[in-house]
């Protein structure tokens, strides 16, 4: 048993260790040490909790058993999950944080004595407010993440689901949550508490269904942020510094990532969460139906072009992840490098389904991270490169974003792929990308379309090099 003061100090220490864990991610060299700090912080927090309750009876054994059960499940998932499934995994994990916050809030509401918050039906007002906010945000995180998970996993269609009066309904529900919290706090009624939870689950679900597949980077970051605010809400209830610090860190981290993702698409946050592009683009889809001539080639042509190049820039996108082509791509690059061809990778901020998705896949395929560049770092190099190899990306290379103010993606930062001497475009068909607009790049003089599965095409090119 340790005093409340010393346990508070230890919670502060673990909060600081969590800050260092995030700080470590500023460069890949320090990142592993950062992760270690995070683990250490967690061990301290859990140990101090045991010591401060001083309860080592049967309950303690059960707690250990449940930690081991959950831990083994978590460890199993962590080792088995393929890197291409990271977005689903992260969405799934967010839902668990949300649900855990809800459960802790329920437990505290039913048995406030255990948390020193007062008595059932007479919970301290401040704690009740914090608890209900934590529970509501947790519930939104849970159901929202479940929908995001289903969409990413393909269980649910990635296209936006919209209906009439959707925004009005959502606004009504959001206001009703505030009203419910107000009455819950003034009446202490447990019925209102359950209604609040149900309504929060519902709004989480309704908020995410109108958002389309390619906006998932924003959604995942947003839910990341919510899970942090839920944790902070519970942290206030439990008067626990480690939780408050962590909640604030995670909350602002997710918010910054959402901001970066929105910036990468030149859209406002509200524009994204109020419904996807796919729903608003009927007009542009119809206009672009005209047939235009396209040059298509095979692996042999592509190999020839690349063999005679002195520098190649590779532009990966979500299609590479779908085709699991990252290893084949690395092998192709190895062959190119043997022929003294300079190769670099260009990553658009919203490539893939979550922030940094492409970087992880390339790292998995043993691509050194100092060959991988962000949009701003590499965009000027396209003009000097001989070949751009676009694999599974589309909208992020569309020059229309720079030239046509009518286009829905106008103003979105894009990779200047068209400035390359020649462009190789690996794609299964001419179909437009997520934004539903045609890519002008397909019809350019210096573009060669390679219609095939990304992995197979890359392997064939390697054979022909």
Partner 1 sequence: MEIDPLIFRLSIFILSIFVGYYVVWSVTPSLHTPLMSVTNAISSVIIVGAIIAGLSGNSDSVFNISSIFGFLAIVLAAINIFGGFLVTQRMLAMYKKKKKDKK
Active site residue ranges = 395
The alpha carbon torsion through 99, 103, 104, 107 (nearest 10 deg) reads: 170
- What order do you get walking across the sheet with 311-316 strand by strand? 372-374, 342-347, 311-316, 387-391, 422-427, 447-451
Collapsing DSSP states into helix, strand and coil, what is residue 1?
A: coil
Per CB under 8 A, contacts with partner 1 among 343-402 are 347, 349, 354-357, 359-360, 363-364, 366, 368-372, 374
Per CB under 8 A, contacts with partner 1 among 16-45 are 18-19, 21-23, 25-28, 31-32, 34-35, 38-39, 41-42, 45
Distance CA 393, CA 330 (A): 17
Q: Of the candidates 69, 155, 171, 178, which one interacts with partner 1 according to CB under 8 A?
A: 69
Per CB under 8 A, contacts with partner 1 among 258-287 are 260
Q: Per the structure block, which two tokens stand in for 135?
A: 């529970």
Distance CA 259, CA 166 (A): 24
94 contributes a contact to partner 1 by CB under 8 A: yes
74 contributes a contact to partner 1 by CB under 8 A: yes
121 contributes a contact to partner 1 by CB under 8 A: no
Q: Of the candidates 46, 155, 287, 383, which one interacts with partner 1 according to CB under 8 A?
A: 46
Q: Of the candidates 2, 6, 9, 70, which one interacts with partner 1 according to CB under 8 A?
A: 70
194 contributes a contact to partner 1 by CB under 8 A: no
Residues 364, 365, 370: CA angle, nearest 5 degrees: 85
Q: Of the candidates 115, 304, 443, 451, which one interacts with partner 1 according to CB under 8 A?
A: 115
Task: Report in angstroms how near the CB of residue 335 gets to partner 1 at its nearest.
Answer: 14
146 contributes a contact to partner 1 by CB under 8 A: no
420 contributes a contact to partner 1 by CB under 8 A: no
73 contributes a contact to partner 1 by CB under 8 A: yes
Distance CA 107, CA 250 (A): 23
Q: Of the candidates 224, 284, 398, 439, which one interacts with partner 1 according to CB under 8 A?
A: 224
Task: Report in angstroms how near the CB of residue 115 gets to partner 1 at its nearest.
Answer: 6
For helices 357-364 and 326-338, what crossing angle results, to 10°? 60
CA proximity to 415, closest of 434, 432, 395, 429: 395
Phi-psi category of 296—alpha, beta or left, where left has phi over 0 and alpha has psi -120 to 50? beta
Q: Please choose, out of 157-165, 166-174, 256-264, 446-454, the segment that lies near partner 1 by the rule CB under 8 A.
A: 256-264
Number of residues that bind partner 1 (CB under 8 A): 117
Q: Of the candidates 2, 9, 77, 171, which one interacts with partner 1 according to CB under 8 A?
A: 77
No. of helices (H) and no. of strands (E), the chain? 18, 8
């Amino acid at each position: 048993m340790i005093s409340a003061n010393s346990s508070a100090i230890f919670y502060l220490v673990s909060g600081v260790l969590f800050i260092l864990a995030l700080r470590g991610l500023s460069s890949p060299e320090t990142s592993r040490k950062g992760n270690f700090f995070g683990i250490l912080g967690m061990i301290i927090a859990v140990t101090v909790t045991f010591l401060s309750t001083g309860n080592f009876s049967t309950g303690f054994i059960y707690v250990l058993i449940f930690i081991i059960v959950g831990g083994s499940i978590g460890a199993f998932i962590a080792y088995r999950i393929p890197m291409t499934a990271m977005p689903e995994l992260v969405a799934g994990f967010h839902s668990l944080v949300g649900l855990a916050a809800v459960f802790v809030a329920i437990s505290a509401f039913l048995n406030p004595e255990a948390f020193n918050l007062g008595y059932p039906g007479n919970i301290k007002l401040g704690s009740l407010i914090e608890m209900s906010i934590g529970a509501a945000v947790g519930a939104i995180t849970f159901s929202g993440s479940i929908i995001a998970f289903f969409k990413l996993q393909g269980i649910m269609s990635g296209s936006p689901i919209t209906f009439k009066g959707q925004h009005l309904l959502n606004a009504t529900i959001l206001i009703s949550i505030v009203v419910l919290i107000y009455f819950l706090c003034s009446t202490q009624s447990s019925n209102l508490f359950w209604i609040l939870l149900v309504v929060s689950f519902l709004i989480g679900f309704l908020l995410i269904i109108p958002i389309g597949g390619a906006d998932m980077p924003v959604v995942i970051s947003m839910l990341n942020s919510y899970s942090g605010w839920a944790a902070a809400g519970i942290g206030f209830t439990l008067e626990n510094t480690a939780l408050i610090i962590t909640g604030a860190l995670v909350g602002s981290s997710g918010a910054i990532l959402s901001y970066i993702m929105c910036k990468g698409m030149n859209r406002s946050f509200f524009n994204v969460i109020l419904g996807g592009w796919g729903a608003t683009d009927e007009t542009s889809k119809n206009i672009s139906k005209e047939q235009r001539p396209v040059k298509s080639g095979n692996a042999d042509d592509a190999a020839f072009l690349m063999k005679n190049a002195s520098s190649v820039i590779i532009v990966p996108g979500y299609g590479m992840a779908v085709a699991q082509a990252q290893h084949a791509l690395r092998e192709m690059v190895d062959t190119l490098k043997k022929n003294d061809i300079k190769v670099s990778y260009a990553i658009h901020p919203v490539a893939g389904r979550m922030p940094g998705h492409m970087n992880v896949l390339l790292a998995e395929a043993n691509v050194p991270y100092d060959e991988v560049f962000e949009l701003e770092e590499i965009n000027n190099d396209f003009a000097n490169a001989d070949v751009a190899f676009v694999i599974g990306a589309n909208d992020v290379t569309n020059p229309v974003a720079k030239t046509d103010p009518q286009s829905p993606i106008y103003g979105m930062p894009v990779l200047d792929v068209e400035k390359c001497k020649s462009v190789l475009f690996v794609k299964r068909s001419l179909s437009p990308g997520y934004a539903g607009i045609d890519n002008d790049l397909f019809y350019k003089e210096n573009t060669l379309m390679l219609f095939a599965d990304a992995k197979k095409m890359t392997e064939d090119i390697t054979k022909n090099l």
